[in-house]
Amino acid sequence: MDVLTPQQRSLNMSRIRGRDTKPELQLRKGLHALGYRFRLHVPNLPGRPDMVFPRYSAVIQVNGCFWHGHDCHLFKMPASRREFWATKIAANKERDRRTDLALLDAGWRVLTVWECSLKGSKRRQLNDVLDYCGSFLRNQAVKTGASKSL
């Protein structure tokens, strides 16, 4: 049973950000400081990717582990309304898959950075994550239409 009233739960849920999250801001600030220039949430690309690097034909998606159903220590299926959440998260994962395929078909390289790589007990050093992102962007040997995850 939920310990919050429906009004409290609604207020909590309404405050969850879809963009400009802390992990996304960390990556944006770090990559910009390294000299990478990008556009944010480009509306004419499938899924409005978090960061678009036209010079490198690449996009970086920053995904929250809960909302995108990542198999890591930060994801835990809620105990209440399990069927609702299972359906919702499965739909999110399917939408992510379709979006990635559409981006790949359009010739973009896709890197997904998971929230758990930037926070939690198993996080990586920010510099390591930034180095990985920079390597992905610079490595033109990773063919256009390729997808990676961190």
DSSP per residue, 19-54: SS-HHHHHHHHHHHHTT---EES-TTSTT--SEEEG
pTM over 0.75: yes
Judge whether 10 lies within some domain.
no
Judge whether 98 lies within some domain.
yes
Judge whether 143 lies within some domain.
yes
Judge whether 41 lies within some domain.
yes
Separation CA 74–CA 144 (nearest Å): 31
CATH assignment of the domain containing 50: 3.40.960.10
Whether 53 and 138 have beta carbons less than 8 Å apart is answered as no
Separation CA 39–CA 31 (nearest Å): 12
Residue 119 identity: K
Categorise residue 97: left if φ over 0, alpha if ψ from -120 to 50, beta otherwise.
alpha
Residue 65 identity: C
Check residue 113 and give its pLDDT.
Answer: 94
Domain that holds residue 96: 18-149
Check residue 100 and give its pLDDT.
Answer: 95
Stretches where the chain sits below pLDDT 70 are 1-2, 9, 13-15, 17-18, 140-147
Judge whether 4 lies within some domain.
no
Total domains in the chain come to: 1
Separation CA 143–CA 78 (nearest Å): 38
